[in-house]
Structure 1
């Protein structure tokens, strides 16, 4: 057998060994079942590496061109779903090199010159995480557009705000939706940071200490649109960029879970604030009347696995010394699972928001009553009464209403004055949800003018990126 070729049943590293791997070991050792999605990144990295080898004269120009030609054919097969994967390939790199050898012949054995699987797999994963971050950012921006669209369509709708899941003060629904917009805006920044962390090429590190071949890591990095490595040992063993991506996914998962919980409540008969489109609801196998918010429940439920994936990789990394260890094969499945889960949720959320129906009457009704009590206390404070004294006076008034079975709006002027003389001049329109909202003056508040400014700023951010 030619020394530059391998039989199909001999691993690329098999020269040191007198027998082929046991089947049981082969299965536990192989990453092919999950790393096939790295194939496009592996091939693009190899194209950059082969190009650099030719430019540096490490291999001939003709050899480099033949490698690039063969790799492009393999890439076309992968993208068309025509590539045949086998467990004997062990990993995506071996599978690609096997197929390249079938297209380009013996020159395929030169592709690995000046490169190790250690820096190769690290590069593939960097490229995967970079693209995943970009996809999630795009999906987040579309979700943010949906929140703005729904907020603009419901500018006048009033909703009760809650603390401790108790009615607190009236808000505009648009203000509430824009709060989620700001949450997702912070998520975008986390994924931008994850993308930046992934945008470093480890090619040139080889196994861990570099290579004697006169490679040009800056050139391969340039061809891939990345920054070059700084320290070869660090480059093959660090997975901080994967942790950054998993952390961003985990925080986003928590935010989506909170939205899910909110919509589970809002669409319940007890709240009756909104109804989901039939296209985003499910039913019961036994109860014909049921219309369940399963998508939002899954958003709530998936947060657990996102947090678990972050914890899994942290635990995997915590005992590893610098340099590659096979433990690092466990870095991919948590990341791939988290990325897939997040993208699945973000694909359904924008249209689920846009097609929901809100029920303004029920919302406004819930935003009145004792949710207006703070207006009375603030009015007293603005008229010279110490706020703690105002708080107690209005608290006694609320207790009196509860005894009489009345809402604050139903009290007579005399009853207000009996709680505190300064309430004689209290403007009656403030004891309405709309009056309470209009009365807000502070920056970023729920007032109509403030929400209009927030909407304009949100649109400007989406259109200009500022």
Structure 2
């Protein structure tokens, strides 16, 4: 089994290397965790179980265990076939131990072997995905903490809407990926259940201990109904898996759209650092955000693979496997997507002055002006809103930024707006200083009081909370990795006990 993988970009690629820490002589240290690897683990577990339950006598168990171990050794040499098909491996076992070794297969079928193999691959893919989520959220928080209280524009319906802060903006995406991580952990519990011992779908007349098989392979338990375990669960659990991957691909796609949109501005405020962009063969001014497009392509690949799963699983009678193992492939594609996003985040440059200038160039603080009029001068919100809207129209028509609005003109427009609501002879209730403070981005952000708002104290609280969440996920992942490593050790010890005739009676 694979040991815990350290956070970082190299984590996914280092999986097989780190696996060496917990492997035994029964599986070569550099052996890939391919379908043969997992078939061999199932053969070892089945050997232990058939001896423990009395399906085969202990002396035959020794012969079976020796044959299984020899096949593992023979298939570890360079160029070996390493087939994951039991019917391809069984002749190798017979050649070593004779036909009696096939009693190890009692109560099994290629159906439950295949379903179990899928879950073993999916289980690892889920853990890899959670590690990628940990790394990506950590990278996002690193970006947020570079300047958490810096003003940035936020948009609704594609139009600048209100000023927020960089920390508020980034922690929004972290929160979305926090939810994804929770879904991944729930998915793990669903995936980590064993179909082994279900035979074709209706078990067998052998006293197969399915719970023991599950325990030996590190599963959380056995899927109870054998028909569901082999023929149904792989479809709906696969659907849950690709749905989890889809949800985070949509979140990543939104973030990538935000970054890509910056390249349409003449003065972007979130941009790839110099030296990390591509060039044009004809236009010397271009700095192409190639890595942005790479991540977006990876997100699209997640959606494409998940769609392939749905079409492959749609309207299938039970017993057919047209969708292959595309659920696992979708999870792996999601991990690749997050790894590329993590790399991209390290190349981003935030330009605080440009972001503030973008906000100051428009009227996204006008909501706060209406709020101040209601809160401090008892002006009905709709009146204040209408006044602020008229003020924006005037400012834009005269090419004025909010900071350049003449105070006298604001007083005049307020009187006109009040009159339209039959509130005549009401003087503008704000001083010029308060008027300009209400229209300032920093004043609006600092005035926010709600849970999860952009105000500095709330952003700091959210960042701290998200760090704690990531630490919790890291501990959870380490715990699951340890359980799998412990199960692998216990399986090897039990298998060696059968092989040497020293198994506990």
Q: Deviations over 1:74-108 (max 9, x none)?
A: 55777x6835338xx6x543444455556656455
1:424 corresponds to 2:430: yes
1:362 corresponds to 2:341: no
Instruction: Determine helix, strand or coil for the equivalent of 1:230.
Output: coil
1:196 corresponds to 2:196: no
Shift of 1:350: 2.0
Paired residues, number: 424
What is the rounded CA distance, in whole Å, between the counterparts of 1:135 and 1:55 in structure 2? 34
What is the rounded CA distance, in whole Å, between the counterparts of 1:281 and 1:104 in structure 2? 61
After TM superposition, the structure 1 stretch with the greater mean CA deviation from structure 2, 55-64 or 126-135, is 55-64
1:399 corresponds to 2:393: yes
Structure 1 residues 41 and 379: CA distance shift in structure 2, 3 A: same
What is the rounded CA distance, in whole Å, between the counterparts of 2:70 and 2:335 in structure 1? 29
1:439 corresponds to 2:447: yes
Instruction: Name 1:125's counterpart in structure 2.
Output: 118
Structure 1 residues 406 and 338: CA distance shift in structure 2, 3 A: same
Instruction: Determine helix, strand or coil for the equivalent of 2:207.
Output: coil
What is the rounded CA distance, in whole Å, between the counterparts of 2:371 and 2:253 in structure 1? 34
Structure 1 residues 94 and 281: CA distance shift in structure 2, 3 A: farther
Gaps of 5+ in 2: 1-31, 415-426, 477-505
Q: Deviations over 1:330-367 (max 9, x none)?
A: 231x2243223212222222232133211111111112
Shift of 1:203: 1.4
Is the Cα–Cα contact under 8 Å of residues 46 and 111 in structure 1 kept in the other structure?
Answer: yes
Structure 1 residues 72 and 244: CA distance shift in structure 2, 3 A: farther
Which gives a bigger RCO, structure 1 or 2 (Cα 8 Å, sep 6+)? Answer: 2
Instruction: Name 2:404's counterpart in structure 1.
Output: 410
What is the rounded CA distance, in whole Å, between the counterparts of 2:455 and 2:308 in structure 1? 45
Instruction: Name 1:282's counterpart in structure 2.
Output: 278
Shift of 1:173: 0.7
What is the rounded CA distance, in whole Å, between the counterparts of 1:77 and 1:256 in structure 2? 45
What is the rounded CA distance, in whole Å, between the counterparts of 2:345 and 2:74 in structure 1? 38
1:352 corresponds to 2:352: no
Shift of 1:262: 1.4
Is the Cα–Cα contact under 8 Å of residues 298 and 337 in structure 2 kept in the other structure?
Answer: no
1:246 corresponds to 2:242: yes
Structure 1 residues 209 and 405: CA distance shift in structure 2, 3 A: same
What is the rounded CA distance, in whole Å, between the counterparts of 2:278 and 2:469 in structure 1? 35
User: Which one of the candidate residues 178, 183, 194 is aligned to 1:185?
Assistant: 178
Instruction: Determine helix, strand or coil for the equivalent of 1:200.
Output: coil
Q: Deviations over 1:415-449 (max 9, x none)?
A: 22223234523342232221221111111100111
Structure 1 residues 351 and 423: CA distance shift in structure 2, 3 A: farther
Shift of 1:178: 0.4
What is the rounded CA distance, in whole Å, between the counterparts of 1:166 and 1:253 in structure 2? 24
What is the rounded CA distance, in whole Å, between the counterparts of 2:171 and 2:77 in structure 1? 42
Q: Deviations over 1:387-418 (max 9, x none)?
A: 12211111111111112111121113222222
Gaps of 5+ in 1: 1-34
Shift of 1:453: 0.8
Q: Please report the TM-score for the alignment, with normalisation by the length of structure 2.
A: 0.77
Instruction: Name 2:496's counterpart in structure 1.
Output: none
Q: Deviations over 1:50-71 (max 9, x none)?
A: 2111211212334434544554
